[in-house]
């Protein structure tokens, strides 16, 4: 089976670097599954999981938006933040989720709803990805 080199990098440094058979994630336009030999592509990403399949197992990485660049033998994901499932602090994510939910439920005039919604999405994504470690 052919493979793809996948790198996930953030402003804090590299988070993932490996050969995989398939990478799938959520682009702004919908689910994307990339196999070796895919046509070149650049796509903005949603807050979501990147799933990396090496033929025997699937690893999950939580990303909070960014860009995916596809070349026939290489995929680069530039993300604002990225955590491998085993590096997620679940207590921190649960706390962030509670905080965002109470901001969204409270009727305070000064609540930045968009910001709270994004914080909730990031927390829920981390909680979901953590389940796959």
List interacting residues with ligand ATP (CB under 6 A): 12, 64, 81, 83, 87-89, 92-93, 96, 119, 122, 126
Minimum Å gap between C-beta 100 and ligand ATP is 8
Minimum Å gap between C-beta 122 and ligand ATP is 4
Q: Which is nearer to ligand ATP, 27 or 118 (CB)?
A: 118
Minimum Å gap between C-beta 8 and ligand ATP is 11
Minimum Å gap between C-beta 133 and ligand ATP is 11
Q: How far apart are CA 20 and CA 74, in angstroms?
A: 10
How would DSSP label each residue in 13-78?
EEEEEEEESEEEEEETTEEEEE-TTPPPEEEEEEEEEEEEE-SS-EEEEEEEEEEEEEETTEEEEE
Longest dimension (CA), the chain: 56
Q: Which is nearer to ligand ATP, 38 or 99 (CB)?
A: 99
């Amino acid at each position: 089976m052919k493979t793809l080199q996948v790198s996930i990098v953030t402003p804090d440094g590299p988070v993932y670097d490996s050969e995989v058979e398939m990478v799938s994630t959520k682009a702004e336009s919908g689910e994307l599954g990339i196999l070796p030999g895919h046509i070149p592509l650049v796509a903005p990403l949603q807050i979501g999981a990147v799933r990396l399949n090496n033929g025997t197992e699937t690893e999950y990485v939580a990303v909070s938006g960014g860009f995916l660049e596809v070349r026939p033998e290489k995929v680069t994901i530039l993300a604002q933040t990225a955590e491998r499932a085993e590096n997620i602090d679940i207590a921190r994510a649960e706390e962030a989720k509670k905080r965002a939910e109470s901001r969204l439920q409270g009727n305070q005039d000064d609540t930045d709803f968009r910001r709270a919604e994004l914080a909730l999405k990031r927390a829920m994504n981390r909680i979901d990805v953590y389940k796959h470690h």
